[in-house]
Chains A and B, each alone.
Chain A
Amino acid sequence: MTKVIIIGGGWAGCSAALTAKKAGADVLLIEKTDMLLGLGNVGGIMRNNGRFTAAEESIHLGASELFKITDSTSRHINIDFPGHKHASLYDVTKIEPKVRKLIKEKNIDFMTQTRVVDVKKINNKIKSIVLSDDKTIKGDIFIETTGSTGPMGNCLKYGNGCAMCILRCPSFGPRVSISQRAGIEDLLGQRQDGAYGAFSGSCKLNKDSLSKEIREKLNSDGVVIIKLPKEDINLDKLNMKVCQQYALKEFAENIVLLDTGHAKLMTPFYPLDKLRKIKGLENARFEDPYAGSKGNSVRYLSMAPRNNSMKVEGIDNLLCAGEKSGLFVGHTEAIVTGALAGHNSVRLSLGMPLLELPRNLASGDIIAYANEQIKSKTGLKKRYTFAGSLYFERMKENNLYTIETEIIKRKIKRLDLYNIYNEKII
């Protein structure tokens, strides 16, 4: 049986594990922290704008499990906030145990607090991975979903220092770029000013630390918008963000809070003293990152060159997904790319042609488009998400955006890709 080893247990890694398992592989998922989902433990925004289309595409392609969980764990569905329509907000305090249960139920082996630090290669083929305790594990196909965030030195050199985010590098060890260890140089995202990396786009406040009015409005509506005093408006901050879909003027002129179990504050960081001057936030404290006053994690410092089937160029048996595979933003993007990488891992082991999603699906188009763009300097300064900014514009222009699930289903049936991720290949 084909042994597929997935390195990194975030949304992309979990998604890849599920499709690889369904295609018939023996799957091992390895995660360095004590929780699956990585940054998914502090995110929560689904189905906003084009992400709705992409989620439905994945569901009809056969990768429905994770969307079922995010939908059923949503605190709010079909809400609007500036620039965004029909969003769902899943509860970040409830999601991880559900995904973990699913992974267990599907009989997927997984290891937490286990960190991969190196590979052993013969020619262009990875034979085994090396763990931080020097143990090695052999595999046939490897999928890297280690993301592109941190570790501490990078967050300091390209950001404001470790802000103590959910990845907890000092405790669980640094992220290691597996593709780079295998000899393939990383690609790096840039900001508008050419500096490397970008800040994670939001921080979270402890909901109990907010005023009763804000708390109640968050619980009932999912969104609270508070106008900022003029002297506090900082438009420059928008350029530092990962999430260009939230880099709108409204997000600089207002405090936008979303209810994801925590109160998600749609800005990379915010000095606590300033924040506490705002009515209703007088007692606010940060939930993630813990040092949200001064900074946030820095991302996009480690992408692998890949083809549109998610295979890493230059290594025969390595695939990638999520942020590792391009300048993608978001859980939906991670799940979409992860599902494809997982499915293709089994095809790759059998010598079958790898699946490429057609470009008349948003999922196929974003994977191909991000890959084209990454080759140019301006493209390295952009981010690619179904949720907004330039890619959502492109979706609308190319008629890829729809919230009619029947239309999406019909299209996928017409393309003969209906439920393809549910097919057992071996």
Chain B
Amino acid sequence: MKKRLQCVDAGSEYCPCYLAETNDCITCSILQGKDFCDCNWRGTCIYQEYVWNGNKRKESRDYLKCKIESTTQISNNSFILKIKVTKTLARLLKEPGSYVFLRGINLPQHFDMPMSVLDADDIKGYIKIAYQILGPKTKRLNMSQNEVMVKGPYWNGLLGVKNIKVTKNSNCLLIARGIAQAPISLLAKKLLKRNNKITFILDEGNLKSNFIEKELKNYDIKIIKKDLMKEENNKFIKKQLLNNNYQLISIGGSDLLQSYIIKIIDDFKLNADIVVTNNNEICCGEGVCGACTTYLEDGTPVKTCKTQLEARKTIERRIHID
């Protein structure tokens, strides 16, 4: 029987999308060409939205030409951009897991790159993005220009977001390494609003910068700096996990780091909810191109640019392949 999957866009102003028109909706069985309902979506019916909209998709996200207000170098190959955007877009990007596509002005669409939102201010109307120069897209994000193309909002940068919403008055552990520090900021702020206590194990990784510290300096977060991949710190991490009764554990970093921490959680039979960064290569963000496809254990393909998955399910197969 087909797996029932949860699209992060369901119920948003961008749902239904192209996938509804092509009978490939991630969530709705009728918009997959089936005769009857078999979804697990709690909210306004996607099929109903589709019919009400005249049997067509809603308007998609559009590109905005935005001014780069400032560029700050944080290590030899990484930068923080502060980009002026509309207040509405900034508001829509305040959710943990938010990301946008950026590309240099004059570049073709295949230079679109997904970037986690580091911070979004809906009063002043700006967002901040941290990036590390790694491949062709980041190399071409031409910093000499003072404008950039922005497309958004997108929301699937973190997997397990439903766990964030239900965590309150609890102990939370955030773990991040390297550039995966970026999505921690929105997540931490959200958790603090719900009266959670946060411990943050921070590892600069290959980035050689702890830029997130500055972003979080006004917040009550206990930050511990450790190299997560060093054997000698293994004991410390295990002790942290075992002794603090964490309700939620978030892991920002490679699949390897994620599976390493999840294995400890499982070995100790800890009852914590898990949030992880979405490490798949996202290309179009609309569930169309297939670049971000991952496979569940039973072979079901899942487009991760929009599909919320449970952390264990997303890495269980990838790790074996990698």
Residues of A within 8 A of B (CB): 115, 117, 132, 134, 150-154, 156-157, 161-162, 169-177, 180-181, 183, 186, 196, 301-302
The answer to whether A162 touches B42 (Cβ under 8 A) is no
Main secondary structure of the interface of B (DSSP, over half): loop
In order of increasing CB-CB distance, the 8 nearest A-B pairs are: A152-B45, A173-B42, A153-B47, A153-B37, A154-B37, A153-B30, A151-B37, A156-B48
Q: Which of these, A162, A175, A180, contacts B45 with CB under 8 Å? A: A162
Residues of A within 8 A of B51 (CB): 156, 161
Q: Nearest Cβ distance between residue B53 and chain A, in whole angstroms?
A: 13
Q: In whole angstroms, how far apart are the Cα atoms of A174 and B40 in the complex?
A: 7
Query: How many Å lie between the Cα of A162 and that of B37 in the bound state?
Result: 13
How far in angstroms is the closest Cβ of chain B from A77? 39
Q: How far is the CA of A134 from the CA of B3 in the complex (A)?
A: 13
Closest chain B residue, CB of each to CB of A152: B45
Most A CB within 10 A of own CB, among B29, B30, B38, B310: B38
Interface residues of B in 5-63 (CB under 8 A from A): 28-30, 35-48, 51
Q: Which one, A153, A156, A170, contacts B43 given CB within 8 A?
A: A170
Q: Report the separation of the CA atoms of residues A175 and B29 in the bound assembly, to the nearest whole angstrom.
A: 13
Taking CB atoms, residues of chain B closer than 8 Å to A176 are 38, 40
> Contact: A174 with B37, CB < 8 Å?
yes
- A171: chain B residues at CB < 8 Å are 42
Asked if B134 CB lies within 8 Å of chain A CBs, one says no
Q: When chains A and B are docked, how far (Å) is the Cα of A169 from the Cα of B46?
A: 13
Q: Does B123 contact A (CB under 8 A)?
A: no
CB of B311 to closest CB in A, whole Å: 12
14 pairs from A and B in contact (CB 8 Å cutoff): A115-B42, A132-B42, A151-B39, A152-B45, A153-B28, A153-B29, A153-B39, A154-B37, A156-B51, A170-B44, A170-B45, A173-B40, A175-B37, A196-B35
**Measured between alpha carbons, how far is A357 from B41 in the docked complex, in Å?**
40
Q: Which of B1, B28, B48 has the most CB of A within 10 A?
A: B48
Bound-state CA distance A172–B154 (Å) is 26
Partner of B48, one of A161, A180, A181: A161
**Cα distance, A150 to B39, chains bound together (Å):** 12
Cβ contact within 8 Å between A132 and B40:
yes
Q: Is the CB of B39 within 8 A of A174?
A: yes
Which residues of B have CB within 8 Å of A134? Answer: 310
The answer to whether B41 and A174 touch across the interface, beta carbons within 8 angstroms, is yes
- Which residues of the other chain, B, contact A151 by a CB distance below 8 angstroms? 37, 39, 45
Q: If A151-B37, A301-B36 touch, does A156 touch B45 (CB 8 Å cutoff)?
A: yes
Complex Cα spacing A173 to B39, Å: 9
B contacts, CB < 8 Å to A:
1, 4, 28-30, 35-48, 51, 310
Give the shortest distance, in Å, between A159 (CB) and chain B (any CB): 11
Given A151-B37, A153-B30, A181-B1; A174-B47 close (CB under 8 Å): no
A156–B47 CB distance below 8 A? yes
- Judging by beta carbons under 8 Å apart, are B37 and A150 in contact? yes
Q: Which residues of B contact A150 (CB under 8 A)?
A: 37
Contact residues in A for B35 (Cβ distance below 8 Å): 157, 196
Q: Quick one: closest A residue to B310, CB to CB?
A: A134
CB distance from A185 to the nearest CB of B (A): 11
Chain A residues with CB under 8 A of B310: 134
How many angstroms from the CA of A154 to the CA of B34 in the assembled complex?
Answer: 11
Which residues of chain A are near B38, meaning CB under 8 Å?
176-177, 180
Given A134-B310, A153-B28, are A117 and B45 also a contact pair (CB < 8 Å)? Answer: no
- Known pairs A134-B310, A181-B1, A183-B1; A153 contacts B45 (CB<8 A): yes
Q: Which residues does chain B contribute within 8 Å of A181, judged by CB atoms?
A: 1
Q: How distant is the Cα of A132 from the Cα of B39 in the complex, in angstroms?
A: 11
Write out the residue numbers on chain A whose beta carbons fall within 8 Å of the beta carbon of B28: 153
Of A117, A156, A161, most buried by chain B (CB within 10 Å of CB) is A156
Contacts of A156 in B (CB 8 A): 45, 47-48, 51
Residue in B1, B30, B36, B41 whose Cβ sees the most chain A Cβ within 10 Å: B36
- Given A151-B37, A180-B38; A169-B45 close (CB under 8 Å): yes
**Bound-state Cα–Cα, A150 to B45, Å:** 11
Pick the contact of B47: A115, A152, A177 (CB < 8 A).
A152
- Looking at the assembled complex, report how far the CB atom of B2 sits from the nearest CB atom of chain A, in whole angstroms: 11
Closest Cβ of chain B to A295, distance in Å, is 12
- Specify which chain A residues have a CB less than 8 angstroms from the CB of B4 in the assembled complex: 117
Task: Report which of B1, B37, B40 forms a contact with A152, defined as CB distance below 8 A.
Answer: B37
**Residues B48 and A153 in contact, CB atoms below 8 Å apart:** yes
**Cα-based distance from A183 to B38 in the complex (angstroms):** 13
* Smallest Cβ-Cβ distance to A32: which chain B residue: B42
B299 to A: closest C-beta gap in Å:
18
Shortest Cβ gap from A417 to chain B (Å):
38
In the assembled complex, which residues on chain A have CB atoms less than 8 Å from the CB atom of B44? Answer: 152, 170
| Residues from chain A with Cβ under 8 Å of B39 in the complex | 151, 153, 174
Q: Which residues of B contact A157 (CB under 8 A)?
A: 30, 35-36, 47
List, in ascending order, chain B residues with CB within 8 A of A183's CB.
1
Give the Cβ gap from B270 to chain A, nearest Cβ, in Å: 16
| CB of B241 to closest CB in A, whole Å | 21
Most chain A CB neighbours (cut-off 10 Å) among B4, B40, B44: B40
Q: Is the CB of A152 within 8 A of B48?
A: yes
A-B contacts besides A162-B48, A174-B37, 18 pairs, CB < 8 Å: A132-B40, A132-B42, A150-B37, A151-B45, A153-B30, A153-B45, A156-B48, A161-B51, A162-B45, A170-B43, A173-B40, A174-B39, A174-B41, A177-B38, A180-B38, A181-B1, A196-B35, A301-B36
